[in-house]
């Protein structure tokens, strides 16, 4: 098996998990920096919006490393999707396939079901709720919790921060409630 074939396969949790976890001590040792993605949107707004908004009045240039970090994540995603993508359909269990078929979701050829995440589905009630309302709620929740899942769950918990543990527990409970109670209702629309 060549290196390119190995890179195209899904990495097991015992490889990818520690690699993600190692970003915390590396960022702390190299520059006393915190890992998080959602703060980069604030830095971009502070750099680009000349309005007199107190939330954006801070020295964003001290955090410009975060913008390069997020750009690197974006660039890595572009490179991976073009050169390292596994073109095989997503493998799901037959039970899940049957359950999704009851909601009209039968296309599993991409990473996201086309019946839910496409321009055509955006103009349906189900698609609007999934894409627009869901995106708004993720953004609102990130701001309300003072960070995203990567900042709280990876960086905050590893630094033994009590608010990050509470936020991560709330993220998990919200995810369980969404997937078990609310999502089936939305999918049936």
78-88, pLDDT tens digit by residue?
A: 998 888 877 77
Query: What is the token pair recorded at 141?
Result: 């929740």
Distance CA 80, CA 74 (A): 10
Per-residue confidence band for 89, with pLDDT thresholds at 50, 70 and 90: confident
**In angstroms, how far is the first alpha carbon of the chain from the final one?**
45
pTM of the model: 0.75
Query: What is the token pair recorded at 97?
Result: 């396939």
| pLDDT the model gives residue 128 | 94
Name, in order, each residue with C-beta under 8 angstroms of 42's C-beta and a sequence gap of 6 or more.
55, 56, 60
| pLDDT the model gives residue 166 | 93
């Amino acid at each position: 098996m060549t290196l390119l074939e190995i890179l195209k396969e899904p990495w097991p949790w015992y490889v990818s998990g520690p690699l993600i976890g190692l970003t915390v001590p590396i960022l702390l040792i190299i520059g006393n920096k915190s890992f998080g993605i959602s703060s980069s949107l604030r830095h971009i707004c502070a750099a680009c919006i000349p309005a007199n908004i107190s939330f954006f009045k801070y020295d964003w240039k001290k955090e410009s490393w975060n913008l390069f970090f997020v750009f690197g994540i974006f660039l890595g995603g572009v490179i991976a999707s073009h050169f390292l993508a596994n073109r095989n359909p997503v493998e799901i269990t037959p039970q899940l396939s049957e359950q999704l078929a009851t909601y009209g979701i039968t296309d599993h050829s991409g990473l996201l079901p086309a019946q839910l995440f496409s321009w055509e589905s955006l103009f349906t009630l189900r698609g609007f709720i999934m894409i627009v309302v869901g995106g708004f709620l993720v953004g609102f929740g990130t701001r309300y919790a003072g960070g995203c899942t990567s900042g709280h769950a990876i960086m905050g918990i590893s630094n033994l921060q009590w608010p990050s543990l509470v936020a991560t527990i709330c993220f998990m409970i919200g995810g369980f409630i969404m997937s078990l109670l609310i999502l089936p209702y939305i999918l049936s629309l």
